[in-house]
Amino acid sequence: MADGPLKLAVPRGALFGETLDILDAAGVDTSELRGDSRSLIFHTSGMTLVTMRPSDVPTYVESGAADVGITGKDVLLEQADRVVYELLDLGFGRCRMVLAAQTGNDRLGEAQRRLGMLRIATKYPRIAEGYFESTGRQVELIEVKGSVELAPLVGLGDGIVDLVATGRTLEENELEVREEIVECTARFVANRVAHKLRSAEIDELTAKLREASAR
Amino acid sequence: MIHPIPPGTRDVLPDEMRELRRLKAALIEVFEDRGYGEVATPAIEYDEVMARADGPTRSGYRFFDQSGELLTLRSDMTVPIARLVATRFASGEPPFRFSYLASGYRAVRPQRGQMREFVQAGVELIGASAEEGTVEVIEVLEAALDAAGLGRAVIGLGDADLYRQLLEELGVEGEARDAILASLATHDLVALEQRLLDAGIGAERAQTCVQLTQLRGGKEVLEAARGLGGAAVERATTQLSETFGELERRGAADRVQIDLGLLRDLGYYSGAILEVYDPAVGHVLGGGGRYDGLMKQFGLDLSAAGFALYLDRVHTAQLEEARRG
């Protein structure tokens, strides 16, 4: 927490490269993270960078194990009950949370019409639940951990709720976007106590990231 | 044979109990020394009585007794003490000072370290003038933190009415206002800025509001806030400046951080609000503030202020501080 260097949670995976780029632009040296080191913790530019799965970032930041962090809005929405302060939209990692179904057939519409109930496979059950509730539709949510595109192809569900960046994966699996739920980008978040007690450091980093993301 | 207990509750065994007892004794001694006599109230109250304090503070545990009365488990001690003062001390001479060490009950999402049964230690000061009341309560809180050995703990001091008044001044009302206050309460600045823009107050004013929420620190933040302008900001900064000035005169301002982004979600707060942090732990240890409207709900027109510390969190902070040597 308020002792020692500021701890920043860095998401590995799809956001990793652009996260390092924006940190470099904000004056945080990330060269060590770019090597093929298998370390998870790096000490650089007076900060400690901790690398982890994007979906773990809110957990670490909420508990104060990391003071600040970067993760996708999709993760924050799915874990909406985690108390973290969302300070900045970093603008990169842009993708859409969508409802998609098989191209060229109307199983989805038919399920709605004849069964009054949609069966939806997703890795984001809380976002999906909130969306269908807010649009007044009953759904049975099927939570899967792996490639969700597979589900409707073999009859597990009428459609999927998933994150789409380019749309190529959907296309390759003969799926198409039916409804757009929300657009997601990378966000800069802070632990609420760190935000109060390390305000100077966090404000400075926020300002630098804001400037870097505006470029 | 394992016999489970509900998630969000727990047993306390002797090693921990000894430490908790020492902590409780230290806190109660501070409270009693300063004239805050300890009281106890029933854990179950009539739901109708607890419901007088509007806001999202209901315990989530309501049930019928054998004669069909709707009862509720208390969610904190502030409302029961307001009830107690109105009932037992209506003709007494204020101010009234009470302290407590008591469990409260809230519906929480388990597995998050949140407890549905938790112990709070705190004080209520009812019927002292606004200014003095806030200052006195902060001084008691500082003494309590010292007694707990948390010399590094910080008290955030903010104003509960600032944003409600600011939005009124800007002509934002209804659903738009509620959405803005909700993003303020969760401190989602991205949504806050978007919702301010959606409310049609213009990009510059939206920026100003967002900046205001980021002002926290010493007296200098009051100057910075005034620079942003507006009647609501002027009122809040004047009041905070008076409170902080009085704390300075009494040598009690060192560990108080003025925070214009503070917004507690308990519905009954008005005016000054407090939050307690310790640098060794990532969660808030407790909070409090003024709730001048609450006593009126119980038929007494008295101002009130108080704070509550979560005993387990203070205990955790003690342990973390000790680990750091």
Q: Residue A178's domain is classified under what CATH number?
A: 3.40.190.10
Residue range B110-168, pLDDT digits in tens: 666 678 899 999 999 999 887 789 999 999 999 999 999 999 999 999 999 999 899 99
> Which residues have a Cβ under 8 Å from the Cβ of B13 and sit 6 or more positions away?
none
Question: Do A153 and A198 fall within a single domain?
Answer: no
- A46 within domain boundaries: yes
Q: Name the pLDDT band for A74 (thresholds 50, 70, 90).
A: very high
CB neighbourhood size of B272 (10 A): 27
The pLDDT of residue A116: 85
A133 shares its domain with A178: yes
Tell me which residue of B86, B8, B83 sits closest to B42, measured CA to CA: B83
Instruction: Residue A122: give the domain boundaries.
Output: 95-182
Question: Are A173 and A193 found together in one domain?
Answer: no
> Considering only residues 181 to 200 of chain A, which have any Cβ-Cβ distance to chain B shorter than 8 Å?
187, 191-197, 199
Nearest by Cα to A181 from A127, A133, A119, A136: A127
Distance, in Å, from the CA atom of B119 to the CA atom of B100, rounded to the nearest integer, reads 10
A164 and A119 housed in the same domain: yes
Q: In this structure, is residue A82 part of a structural domain?
A: yes
Clarify whether residues A12 and A70 are in a common domain. Answer: yes
Assess whether pLDDT exceeds 90 at residue A201: yes
Q: Do B145 and B277 meet the contact criterion of CB atoms below 8 Å apart? A: no
pLDDT of amino acid B267? 67
pLDDT-based confidence at A105, cuts 50/70/90? confident
Query: Do residues A189 and A56 make contact, with C-beta atoms less than 8 angstroms apart?
Result: no
Interchain contact, B217 vs A199, CB within 8 Å: yes
Cross-strand partners of B279: none
Q: Is residue A86 part of a domain?
A: yes
Domain membership of residue A1 (yes or no) is no
Short-list B191, B200, B193, B206, CA closest to B173: B200
Q: Are residues A38 and A103 in the same domain?
A: no
Mean per-residue pLDDT over chain B, rounded: 91
Tell me how far apart the alpha carbons of residues B190 and A91 are, in angstroms, rounded to a whole number. 11
Angle, helices B162-169/B231-249, rounded to nearest 10 degrees: 160
Are A138 and A208 members of one domain? no
Quick check: B60 pLDDT over 90?
no
Q: Is B283 close to A63, i.e. CB distance below 8 A? A: yes
- Please report which confidence band the pLDDT of residue B13 belongs to, taking 50, 70 and 90 as the band edges: very high
Q: What pLDDT was estimated at residue A107?
A: 86
Pair (A193, A206) in one structural domain? yes
Please, which residues have CB within 8 angstroms of residue B237's CB and are 6 or more apart in sequence? Answer: B222, B225, B226
| Count of domains for chain A | 2
Distant-in-sequence, close-in-space partners of A141: CB < 8 Å, separation ≥ 6 = A120, A122, A125, A128, A129
As for the ipTM of the complex, it is 0.88
Q: What is the average pLDDT across B48-71?
A: 82
A38: Cβ–Cβ under 8 A, 6 or more apart, which residues? Answer: none
Same-domain check for residues A61 and A32:
yes
Q: Which of A81, A83, A196 sits opposite B259 (nearest CB)?
A: A196
Q: What is the pLDDT of residue A87?
A: 97
What is the set of domains in chain B, with CATH numbers? 1-155+292-325 (3.30.930.10), 161-263 (no CATH)
**Whole-number average pLDDT of chain A:** 93
Q: Kindly state the tokens that stand for B122.
A: 């705190």
Is B120 in contact with B100 (CB distance < 8 Å)?
Answer: yes
pTM of the model: 0.90
Confidence of residue B230 (pLDDT cuts 50, 70, 90): confident
| Closest-CA distance of chain B to residue A67, Å | 8
